[in-house]
Amino acid sequence: MIDKAKLVAIDHRHAWHPYTPMDRWLGDPDPTVIVRAQGSWLETIEGERLFDGNSSWWVASLGHGHPRLLKVLAEQAATLDHCAFGGLTHEHGALLAEELVAVAPAGLTRVFYTDNGSTSVEVAVKMAVQAQRQWGRPKKTRFVALEGAFHGDSVGAASLGGVEVYRRPFAGILFDCVRVPSPGEVGEDGKTGHESAFAALAKVLANEADSIAAVVVEPMVQGAAGMLTYDARYLQELAAACRAADVLLVFDEVFSGYGRTGPMWAGQHAGVTPDLMCLGKAFASLLPMGATLATEKVFDAFRGDPANAFYYGHTFCGHPLGAALAREVLRIYRDEDVLGQVARKSKRIAATMTEIGELPGVLSTRALGMIGAADLGRGGYLGGLGGRVCAEARKRGAYLRPLGDTVYICPPLITTDEELEHFLGVLVDSVKAAG
């Protein structure tokens, strides 16, 4: 094993870290170095165990090193490591599509594979515009998205994004988006404003539907906005309004899918099937892969004349390793009753967030499924209050990342009851210590 000081020196000399003010990183002589992970735990180079409180950027819903996933990965690598999905098919690519359709909201019958969350959204953007064009509505090229939205970092996905700090550097190259209020924004009265948010959206659809291709939302919870949760009625009203205005509805389930909010898909809270649904993160658990699911109606828009085809696809689209893993992920969800586990554990998270809401300095808290969040200030993404709690948690053996003045948790869904109890205790102690 390489010596820590040497490794950090090389990292500081050459590596450029994501979402990281690099002067701050370079000024830290003793950053955390992870050498292995198992279950809900990361292990540092010093041998310290850290609870993975955000599932390593919301990915490790099945934890780390799941033996069934490791076995599938090794077997698949030895059998068929890679082949293109354009003009060819393979067992896992075809069967995964069938299995996804079987668990997806009824009506989503087509699966287009992608590389990650951003490309799933990018695909939805392009499919929506091209479908509208091929339905004879070429003027429908604009998108509606929420304040505080996050849909990924490619230029198309970032254009939908509503977090100002992420948008500002790219002003001028992002496409214009109709921005509407978030239904999760907490008002002065401590309540979320889904009714006034919906009224604003309805007005846009009433006046501008002729130019709008689709509305794109993170259903039930806006992750990067600070885990802002909102009422399922917003999604129901949104779906009805989109139908009435002939505007496509896109659910970005990259974060909220795979049981993170309770049911398999967050849209199920509202009983709504979107026209397009974007997946990523937990999809293949330990390799980057995602998919965009579409209805037969959308799919049909791309048939007929070869010029109507969807001329899009990344090199690793539908790769056999990821597809084999993604199939095993679905089997593990079934065999280990992962959603049943979430139903039980989410009650403990909700109770703890209520308890944290009573602590001095905490403005508001919320919980949904395996997500909990506490607002400690109103400083937005660049606020430092969430970071203080994360630093306290780090001292107590848990890894968290803040969203500005908000601290949130998003543990692996397979965390044991005992581990969850321990982690929630660490969280309470850390909020108290930072207060």
Q: Which residue has the closest beta carbon to ligand PLP?
A: 117
* By the rule CB under 6 A, 287 interacts with ligand PLP: no
Distant-in-sequence, close-in-space partners of 141: CB < 8 Å, separation ≥ 6:
129, 132, 211, 213
Is the separation of the CB atoms in 218 and 149 below 8 Å? yes
Nearest distance from C-beta of residue 255 to ligand PLP, angstroms: 4
Find the DSSP H helices in 80-231. 91-103, 117-134, 155-160, 164-167, 194-208
Is the separation of the CB atoms in 271 and 235 below 8 Å? no
CA dist 389 and 324 (Å) reads: 39
* By the rule CB under 6 A, 219 interacts with ligand PLP: no
* By the rule CB under 6 A, 162 interacts with ligand PLP: no
> Length of the chain in residues, anyone?
435
Q: Given the complex with ligand PLP, which of 55 and 346 has the nearer CB atom?
A: 55
Q: Given the complex with ligand PLP, which of 117 and 184 has the nearer CB atom?
A: 117
* By the rule CB under 6 A, 152 interacts with ligand PLP: yes
Q: Given the complex with ligand PLP, which of 58 and 333 has the nearer CB atom?
A: 58
Nearest to 318 by CA among 286, 295, 284, 285: 284
Nearest to 259 by CA among 366, 153, 344, 150: 344
Name the CA dihedral angle for 252, 255, 258, 261, rounded to a multiple of 10 degrees: -100
Q: Given the complex with ligand PLP, which of 276 and 424 has the nearer CB atom?
A: 276
* By the rule CB under 6 A, 255 interacts with ligand PLP: yes
CA dist 34 and 363 (Å) reads: 33
Choice from 223, 387, 402, 404 touching ligand PLP (CB under 6 A): 223
* By the rule CB under 6 A, 280 interacts with ligand PLP: yes
Nearest distance from C-beta of residue 242 to ligand PLP, angstroms: 19
Q: Given the complex with ligand PLP, which of 90 and 183 has the nearer CB atom?
A: 183
* By the rule CB under 6 A, 275 interacts with ligand PLP: no
Q: Given the complex with ligand PLP, which of 121 and 127 has the nearer CB atom?
A: 121
Nearest to 100 by CA among 84, 111, 86: 111
Nearest distance from C-beta of residue 419 to ligand PLP, angstroms: 24
Choice from 239, 254, 317, 332 touching ligand PLP (CB under 6 A): 254
Nearest distance from C-beta of residue 64 to ligand PLP, angstroms: 18
Q: Is 258 left (phi over 0), alpha (psi -120 to 50) or beta?
A: left
* By the rule CB under 6 A, 252 interacts with ligand PLP: yes
Applying CB under 6 A, the site for ligand PLP has a residue count of: 14
* By the rule CB under 6 A, 430 interacts with ligand PLP: no
Site for ligand PLP in 103-142 (CB under 6 A): 116-118, 121
Tokens 């009422």 correspond to 231
122's tokens: 């990018």
Interface positions with ligand PLP (CB under 6 A):
116-118, 121, 150-152, 218, 223-224, 252, 254-255, 280
